[in-house]
């Protein structure tokens, strides 16, 4: 798609959430429409060609010059998300556990009526990445949400409308549960890979829980890296391999990773 005469506006507080006015902001409404079409295409393709993918996860502590890996595991992820977006409920607790996590919205969540109704959308410019031009759509959680939700930046390929990158941060970290009051900010940056025409999945995730540090104490922030190492279709689309395996990074418990391996670490809360 080609957008001409686009006006780039600063991201402001979200006092009037919902779909952009197609008369006042036609280009922004067009981008949101493309994102919704993207999600509809994904949902239709997944129902016809179900699949699952394997994500390798490394969890550890981020220090000023790198990350100390504490644990590494692999999880299987279904093609349709099992966690649904709920306004102000992106911080959830694992069933049967006291561990909390940030539920990263999926492409389907981004066009869920509840998500749209509780966020504002603004166009934030275009950038060139190799042979692709990406449009940036900024999303901000509504001021009326009194508990943590997400702000974000979403990058759409102008040629295919596929989601290429997503940068999220937790809104209202000051409203986290008492057990998480040591956390002063949360970010999660994700990239996507196209595994079939019109079908993209998470390729990598870099997330950091920025913690408050006491005076004279070196801060240790909780960090997590994820990368997709394989996927397999139950019934693949035409001309697409049933299963694909990718190179596995050398993540192991007690391994030290240089700060360059944690790209989101350069972005503070």
Distance of CA 29 to the CA centre of its chain: 21
What whole-number percentage of the chain has pLDDT above 70?
91
The candidate with the shortest Cα–Cα distance to 178, out of 240, 100, 126, 256, is 100
Q: How far apart are CA 3 and CA 220, in angstroms?
A: 44
Determine the 3-state secondary structure of 190 from DSSP. strand
- Listed in sequence order, the DSSP H helices in the chain are 26-48, 107-110, 113-117
Report the sign of the C-alpha dihedral through residues 266, 138, 88, 103, in that order. negative
Residue range 240-264, pLDDT digits in tens:
999 999 999 999 999 999 988 999 9
Residue 72's pLDDT is 97
- Exposure string for 55-71, b = 16+ CB within 10 A, e = fewer: bbebbbebbeebbebee
Band the pLDDT of 9: cuts 50, 70, 90: low
Domains of the chain as residue ranges with CATH = 26-92+101-261 (2.50.20)
Residue range 28-79, pLDDT digits in tens:
888 888 888 888 888 889 999 999 999 999 999 999 889 999 999 999 999 8
């Amino acid at each position: 798609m080609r957008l001409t005469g686009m006006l780039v506006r600063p991201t402001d507080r979200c006092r009037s959430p919902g779909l952009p006015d197609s008369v006042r902001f036609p280009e922004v409404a067009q981008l949101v429409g493309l994102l919704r079409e993207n999600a509809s295409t994904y949902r239709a393709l997944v129902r016809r060609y179900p699949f699952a993918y394997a994500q390798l996860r490394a969890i550890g502590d981020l220090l000023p010059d790198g990350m100390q890996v504490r644990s590494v595991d692999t999880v299987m992820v279904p093609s349709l998300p099992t966690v649904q977006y709920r306004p102000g409920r992106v911080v959830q607790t694992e069933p049967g556990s006291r561990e909390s996590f940030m539920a990263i919205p999926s492409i389907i969540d981004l066009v869920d009526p509840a998500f749209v109704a509780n966020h504002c959308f603004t166009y934030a410019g275009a950038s060139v990445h190799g042979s692709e031009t990406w449009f940036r759509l900024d999303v901000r959680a509504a001021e009326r949400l009194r508990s943590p939700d997400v702000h974000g930046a979403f990058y759409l390929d102008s040629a295919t409308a596929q989601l290429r990158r997503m940068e999220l941060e937790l809104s209202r970290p000051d409203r986290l549960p008492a057990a998480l009051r040591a956390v002063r900010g949360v970010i999660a940056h994700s990239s996507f890979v196209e595994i079939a025409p019109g079908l993209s999945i998470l390729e990598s995730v870099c997330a950091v829980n920025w913690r408050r540090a006491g005076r004279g104490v070196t801060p240790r922030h909780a960090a997590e890296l994820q990368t997709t190492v394989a996927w397999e279709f139950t019934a693949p689309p035409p001309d697409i391999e049933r299963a694909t395996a990718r190179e596995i990074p050398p993540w192991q418990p007690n391994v030290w990773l240089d700060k360059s391996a944690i790209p989101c670490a350069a972005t503070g809360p």
